[in-house]
Amino acid sequence: MSKLWGGRFTQNTDVMVEEFTSSISFDQRMYAQDIAGSIAHATMLSKCGIIAAEEATAIIDGLTSILADIEAGKFSFEIALEDIHMNIEKRLTERIGTVGGKLHTARSRNDQVALDTHMYLKREIKNIGTLIIQLQQAIVEVAEKHKSVIMPGYTHLQRAQPILFAHHMMAYFFMLSRDFRRLEGVWEGTDLMPLGAGALAGTTFPIDRHFVASKLNFSEIYENSMDAVSDRDYILEFLSCASILMMHLSRISEEIILWSSSEFSFIELDDGHCTGSSIMPQKKNPDVAELVRGKTGRVFGHLMALLTTAKGLPLAYNKDLQEDKEGMFDTIDTLKFSLTVYASMLRNMKVNDKVMDAAVRNDFSNATDMADYLVKKGLPFRQAHEVVGKCVAYCLGHSKWLMDLSLAEFKQFSPLFEADILEAIKVETCVDARNSYGGTSSSGVEREFTIAEQILQKQQTILEIFTKGNI
């Protein structure tokens, strides 16, 4: 097949080289952005008198019919045409004749590919933002449904202090709200229009880049043509934010996996979100959570891969930069799938409130409250800590919990203990006494729900900004 750049070549491209250098297998997913960018470019060329109005019309009609063909599955992409840009341009010329060759005036694939990835990423940020909100809503639903369930809170994976299950779940809500906020930053960094940079140095034609930017709903344009075609920092910002988001999902996955084990049995995932074993008939495995935890690795990998690809590149465009897309696409797909499946998994999981309750009653997680009791009676905290530590040691030696001790036994450790000690170290008291701002008390968790509602509303308005003009 003859190449669009074939003029100076006397031999055909080696077939293996065609395959090796081609990106059409993965960049074809940017067809809509490529065509919209070309239509805006052709409109601008005609507005600036660089091509005639009828020529622009022929080009735009041709591009519109190609778009329809691709969407109808009637377009065959050719490896020999290397990438999405040349597949479309070549077909355009076949369809409308040599006037199609005017589309690439004042443009290079270097600024074209940068434009496409900016537009594609903007659209997907909106989709990912939507899915973050849906997962946050699922978390709030689960937390509200089980808002009085008490469980042990852990540090070092050792039972630490009683907490509300809802408080635990809402921690992830707030992490996701910061993921959303980071995504806003990525969107702003991506809302920057590179077209018109040409190959690297700008163009000799009197183009109007601001016109193209406004046609394509970009707020700003790159100030420097070499920057515009060389940098991929917007993708790196996306991959960084995606990595942090996946790290959060991986942590909740780890908890879901632990909690659904027989050892914990704090939750049970529904059958629809688990798989079985081909050999062990009794098994029900939390594959979704495991796979999200596993896929976190590939997203981190994509971030490292692109950082490494970009780090040694001289300005301006180098073919190495073609490596920017697969990791970005895979990250988008991974995030979208993980967020979607997670929301439905959480909504359908059963919370074993009785098991959590039994766990929190049969341990020493009320020990801090016992120390706080003594402090409120005037003992310095360090001494109170020591007294309670001795009580715990006594209990361990006598197979008792703190709640099992008689007042006489309590008094062996400190005369400050009175009959009200049992009320003070009941798990319900322990939870509700933690009503410092951000703490686990019922009123604290109610406040979290109120704030969560406000955050969700604000995020919805930001989604509308993300949506505007997306292709």
Least distance CB 262 / ligand ARG (angstroms): 50
Mention every residue, 6+ apart, whose C-beta is less than 8 A from residue 144.
166, 449
Tell which residue, 198, 150, 306, 285, has the closest CA to residue 242. Answer: 306
Minimum Å gap between C-beta 17 and ligand ARG is: 13
Q: Which residue, 238 or 317, has its beta carbon nearer to ligand ARG?
A: 317
Is 113 among the residues that bind ligand ARG (CB under 6 A)?
Answer: yes
Site membership for ligand ARG, residue 228 (CB under 6 A): no
23 part of the interface to ligand ARG, by CB under 6 A: yes
Cis ω before 166 (30° cut-off from 0): no
Judged by CB under 6 A, the residue of 55, 83, 191, 231 near ligand ARG is 83
Nearer to ligand ARG, 266 or 317 (CB): 317
Specify the residue, 104 or 168, whose C-beta has the smaller distance to ligand ARG: 104
Ranges within 295-334 binding ligand ARG (CB under 6 A): 317, 319, 321-322
> What stretch of H or E contains 238?
helix 233-259
449 Cβ contact list (under 8 Å, min separation 6) = 140, 143, 144, 170
Under the criterion CB under 6 A, does residue 253 sit at the interface with ligand ARG? no
> Judged by CB, which is closer to ligand ARG: 23, or 366?
23
Residue 449 gets which letter from DSSP?
A: H
Q: Considering the complex, what minimum distance in angstroms separates the CB of residue 111 from ligand ARG?
A: 9
Closest distance of CB 471 from ligand ARG, Å: 18
Region near ligand ARG per CB under 6 A, out of 109-117, 278-286, 372-380, 438-446: 109-117
- Find the shortest distance in angstroms from Cβ 194 to ligand ARG: 12
Q: How many CA atoms lie within 13 A of 251 on its CB side?
A: 13
In 3D, which of 354, 363, 355, 356 has the Cα closest to residue 161? 363
Closer Cβ to ligand ARG, 25 or 412, answer by number: 25
Q: How far apart are CA 144 and CA 164, in angstroms?
A: 11
Complete DSSP assignment for 261-286: STTT-SEE--GGG-B--SS-TT--B-
Q: Catalytic one among 148, 219, 261, 277? A: 277
Q: Given candidates 33, 46, 87, 110, which one binds ligand ARG under the rule CB under 6 A?
A: 110
Bridge-partner residues for 164, per DSSP? 150
> Based on CB atoms, which residue is closest to ligand ARG, 142 or 316?
316
306-325 b/e (C-beta count within 10 Å ≥ 16 → b): beebbeeeeebbbeebbbbb
Q: Does 102 bind ligand ARG (CB under 6 A)?
A: no
User: Tell me, what DSSP letter sits at residue 48?
Assistant: T
| 434 lies in the binding site for ligand ARG (CB under 6 A) | no
125, 222, 197, 221: which is closest to 470 by C-alpha? 125
Establish whether 156 is a catalytic residue.
Answer: yes
Residue with tokens 């081609």: 22
CA dihedral 452, 458, 464, 467 (to 10 degrees): -60
- Interface with ligand ARG (CB under 6 A), residue total 10
Binding to ligand ARG by residue 109, rule CB under 6 A?
A: yes
Strand-pairing partners, residue 150, are 164
CA angle 73, 79, 80 (to 5 degrees): 125
Contacts of ligand ARG in 188-207 (CB under 6 A)? none
In the complex, the smallest distance separating the C-beta of residue 321 from ligand ARG, rounded to whole angstroms, is 5
Per annotation, catalytic residue among 156, 262, 399, 436: 156
- Rank residues 79 and 244 by Cβ distance to ligand ARG and give the closer one: 79
- Least distance to ligand ARG from the beta carbon of 318, Å? 9
Q: Please give the positions annotated as active site.
A: 156, 277
What residue ranges bind ligand ARG (CB under 6 A)?
A: 23, 27, 83, 109-110, 113, 317, 319, 321-322
